Amino acid sequence: MQPIHEALSLPALQLLVEEGGADVNAISGCGEWPLKSAAEANDTTQITWLLRRGAEVDRTATGETALHAAVRRDSRESVKLLLDAGANPNAQDVDGWTPLLEAISRETIGMLLESGAQTAITDQEGWGAEYWIRDPILLAALKGKCAHHPCFMTIDSRLHRIVAAQPFPLLFATISGAHLYGFPSPDSDFDLRGLHVLPLEKVIGLEVRDETVEDSRVIEGLEMDIVSHDVRKFFSLLLKKNGYVLEQLYSPLIVHTTPEHAELKTVARGCITRHHSHHYFGFAATQWKLFLKGSVRRAKPLLYVYRVLLTGIHLMRTGEVEANLLSLNEEFRLPYITDLVSRKLAGAEKSVLNDADIAFHESEYQRLREELQAAHDACKLSELPSETTRAALNDLLVGARLHRPRELAQVAG
C-alpha cells in the first residue's frame, strides 16, 4: 500500500500528488484507489479534485468502478459527479454486477437510468435488476412508473452557472417549489434555495449583513427566485423546527453540493421532532385561507394545501422528509390528486373549481388535519434536538466558517 492510499484529507492528497508525484490512479494490493475511496466516503471535494488531476473515472482492478462504490453506499452526490464526468453506468464487476443492480434509492436509480443504464444486463447467474431490486417502489422507479418524481428531472445547465455566480460560497443549492412538489407548469419559476458561508470579516463586526440573500429576476431566460441563508442562520432555523429548511436540505433536486451538505443531511436528522407538525398545521391553514380568498377558486392553492398536509403526516409517521405530492400519493392514494394536477397544468380556465368541489375539498381538508393530529399524537420522534445534535451542528458551523473558503480556493486552483 502506498501513502496515497492512506491519505484521508484533501490537503494530504494535494501534498502527495503535487509535491511527492504520487499517481492518482495507483491501485493498492487490496484493490483500492483514491477515486474509489473518495466515492465511498461521498467526499465530493476530493472527487472533483482527483478528476481534475487526471483520475480515470472508470479505473478498475476487478471490474468494480468508483461508480459501483458510490451507488452501493447510496452516495448520491458522488454518483451525480461521477456520471457527469462520464462514468459508465453499465460497467460490470467480476460477478457481472452493474451499478444499477446495487442501487437502493429511487434517486440513484433515476440518475443511472437517465445516464443510460441498461435494465436488461444480467449478472453471471443470469439475474437482472428486476430480480435483485425487490422493493416495490424501487421497482416502480426502475420501470418508469415514478417518472413524476423529482429525481427524474434534468437540471438545466443554466442553473449551474447561476449558482456559480452567487456572491458567497455555497455548501449546497437545491430546487424547491412546484418543481420539487411534482406539479410545475411550463411557466413555473425556479425556486433556488441555498446555504452560503459568509467570510469572517462579515460576521465578527458590530453588524452582520447578508445572512439572507434574495434575488428574483430573469437570468439567462429563466425566471428565478433565489434565497440562500448563511450557515448560522440556516442552522438556527433547523433548531427552531422550520419545515421549509428541512425540505430545502433534503430536496433531491441538487444543483450544487459539497461534503458539508452530505454531513449536514446526516446531522439534521436529529433536528426532526414531533413538533414539526405545528409548522405543517400552520402552513396548511395559510394555504387554505388563500384558496378561499380568491374570487375564483383554482386548483393550484388547493394542491399546496394537500402537499403540506401529506408531507406533515408522512414526516410524523416515518421521520422522513418527502415533499413531492405525487410520490406521497403513492402512499395515501387520494383519487382526486391526479385530477387536480391535470387541471392545474391545463391552465387557468380549466383549473376553476365549482361549489360542489369546494364543499368536498373542505371536508377532505378537515379530515387530513385530523389525520395529521393523530400522527402527531402517535409520533415517536423526540421533543427537541439533542445536545449531541446541537454540538454536531456547532462543529459543522465552525468548520465551515474557518476552513471551507480556503478549501474551495484550493480546489479552484
Which residues neighbour 53 within 8 Å (Cβ) at sequence distance 6 or greater? 17, 24
pLDDT higher than 90, residue 79: yes
pLDDT at 208 over 50: yes
Does 17 lie in the same domain as 143? Answer: yes
Integer angstrom CA distances of residue 229 from 127, 167, 190, 249, 390: 47, 12, 17, 12, 18
Same domain for 164 and 252, yes or no, is yes
Same domain for 402 and 264, yes or no, is: yes
Contact status, residue 120 vs residue 127, Cβ threshold 8 Å: no
Q: Is residue 237 part of a domain?
A: yes
Question: Domain check: are 132 and 24 in the same one?
Answer: yes
In a domain, 152, yes or no: no
Q: Render pLDDT for 167-178 as a digit per residue (tens, 0 to 9).
A: 999 999 999 999
Give pLDDT, residue 413: 43
Which range has the worst mean pLDDT, 5-14, 39-48, 199-208, 331-340? Answer: 5-14
Q: Which of 54-68, 142-156, 342-356, 368-382 has the weakest average pLDDT? A: 142-156
* 26 plus 139 within the same structural domain: yes
Same structural domain, 33 and 176:
no
Q: Are residues 122 and 198 in the same domain?
A: no
How far does the chain reach from its first CA to its final CA, in angstroms? 28
CATH number for the domain spanning 62: value is 1.25.40.20
Q: Do 167 and 247 reside in the same domain of the chain?
A: yes
Report residue 388 as a C-alpha cell: 449531541
**Is the same domain home to 181 and 293?**
no
pLDDT at 346: 78
Shared domain check, 198 and 95: no
101-155 pLDDT, tens digit each? 888 777 788 888 888 888 888 888 888 777 666 554 455 555 554 444 554 566 7
pLDDT at residue 154, as a whole number = 65
Weakest mean pLDDT among 23-27, 165-169, 174-178, 377-381: 23-27
Task: Kindly state the helix (H) or strand (E) to which residue 316 belongs, with its residue range.
Answer: helix 299-318
Top pLDDT among 176 and 2 is at 176
**Residue of 59, 46, 52 lying closest to 13 (CA atoms):** 46
pLDDT at 247 over 60: yes
Cross-strand bridge partners of residue 224: 190, 217
Q: Do 64 and 114 reside in the same domain of the chain?
A: yes
Lowest-pLDDT range of 79-88, 123-132, 310-319: 123-132
Between 309 and 44, the more confident residue is: 309
Q: Which of 147, 171, 196 marks a domain boundary?
A: 147
- CATH number of the domain that residue 229 is part of: 3.30.460.10
Number of domains the chain contains: 3
Report whether 169 contacts 163 (CB < 8 A).
Answer: no
Q: Which residues lie below 8 Å from residue 237, measured CB to CB, with a gap of 6+?
A: 229, 244, 245
Could you give the CA distance from residue 12 to residue 204 in angstroms, rounded to a whole number? 30
Strand positions, DSSP E, 99-244: 170-176, 190-196, 212-219, 222-230
Residue 107 lies in a domain: yes
Q: Which band of pLDDT confidence, cut at 50, 70 and 90, is reported for residue 412?
A: very low
Provide the pLDDT for residue 5. 65
More confident residue, 171 or 326: 171
Q: What range defines the domain where residue 182 resides? A: 157-273+386-412
Give the predicted TM-score (pTM) of the model: 0.66
Pair 41, 111 in one domain: yes
Decide if 257 is inside a domain.
Answer: yes
Parallel, antiparallel, or unpaired for β 170-176 and 212-219? unpaired
